[in-house]
Amino acid sequence: MQKKAELYRGKAKTVYTTEDENRLILHFRNDTSAFDGQKIEQLDRKGMVNNKFNHFIMTKLEEAGIPTQLEALLSDDEALVKKLDMIPVECVVRNVAAGSITRRLGVEEGLELNPPTFEFFLKNDALHDPMVNEYHIRSFGWAKDEDIARMKELTFKVNDVLKTLFDEAGMILVDYKLEFGLFNGEIMLGDEFTPDGCRLWDKETRNKMDKDRFRQGLGSVVETYEEVANRLGVNLA
Ligand code: ADP
Ligand code: UDP
């Protein structure tokens, strides 16, 4: 499948139309951004690592019965996906407190959250992705009741699958963000699941193995993503 026209250039990926009006090509660029796009850097190999990582994870999720955008890996840094009608909210599950929840609620980083907690955020950089609740989503018409329920159900199902997957590879899945969209009326997982959109800590040392390395200037960002991929058995060749 060939790229036709650029549809959207995001902070980390470029989206292209194809000859098939129901399929898109996602190009994973090396651009890495944080703080709503205020800190941006090019990191060698990141597009390739994230594209292959995302393909590996979405394949695991499909195998577990979670509907995703997944169609095919096209090249090192491009994937063919279903064109979803994206719902403009981010679904976040947290198993351990880190990031914004520590600042909002004044809790210590590392506090175990049992049961895991769930939050919705509006996807809007200009407003700094504010937290919203289900009433906002309904009142502003961002999604219907049954789609909200399905996004929550699938986000928790992803947790069941991935917590175990990362645990068996020596990592703690601290938190993650998912984006969903509609395809022929069905909610499907879109966008990406990579170390750019989740937090992963080494089980023994609690070293950060995700985008916090970039946010906090800890260095070895892509090398650490590659380490995560190697531990899971993702083929980066
Ligand atoms: P951002 O928009 O946050 O800067 P990206 O650089 O990752 O993020 O851009 C990718 C864009 O493509 C996002 O707006 C995302 O919602 C959208 N997108 C991801 N997957 C799909 C899909 N399968 N169908 C339609 N749009 C998608
Ligand atoms: N996240 C993301 N994109 C966003 C906001 C958050 O991928 O626009 C991810 C982030 O990497 C983390 C989780 O969602 O894994 C929770 O993020 P948090 O609310 O703690 O915000 P942060 O402090 O990371 O900005």
E strands, the chain, are 6-9, 13-17, 23-28, 31-34, 39-42, 70-75, 78-82, 85-86, 89-96, 112-122, 131-132, 171-183, 186-190, 198-202
Task: List, in order of start, the domains of the chain with CATH numbers.
Answer: 6-82 (3.30.200.20), 85-220 (3.30.470.20)
Q: What is the pLDDT of residues 110-161, one digit of tens each?
A: 999 999 999 999 999 999 999 999 999 999 999 999 999 999 999 999 999 9
| Ligand 1 site-directed mutation target among 21, 58, 86, 193, most atoms within 8 Å of CB | 86
Nearest ligand by distance to the CA of 183: 1
Cα 190-197-4 angle, rounded to 5 deg: 45
> Is residue 207 over pLDDT 90?
yes
Ligand 2: residues within 6 Å at CB?
Answer: 90, 92, 99-101, 129, 175-177, 197-199, 211
CB of 49 closer than 6 angstroms to any ligand 1 atom = no
Whether residue 96 contacts residue 173, with contact meaning beta carbons closer than 8 Å, is answered with no
Q: What is the pLDDT of residues 61-90, one digit of tens each?
A: 999 999 999 999 999 999 999 999 999 999
pLDDT band at 181; cut points 50, 70, 90: very high
CA 230/CA 145 separation, integer angstroms: 40
Q: Which residue lies with its CA nearest to atom 1 of ligand 1?
A: 10
CB of 15 closer than 6 angstroms to any ligand 1 atom = yes
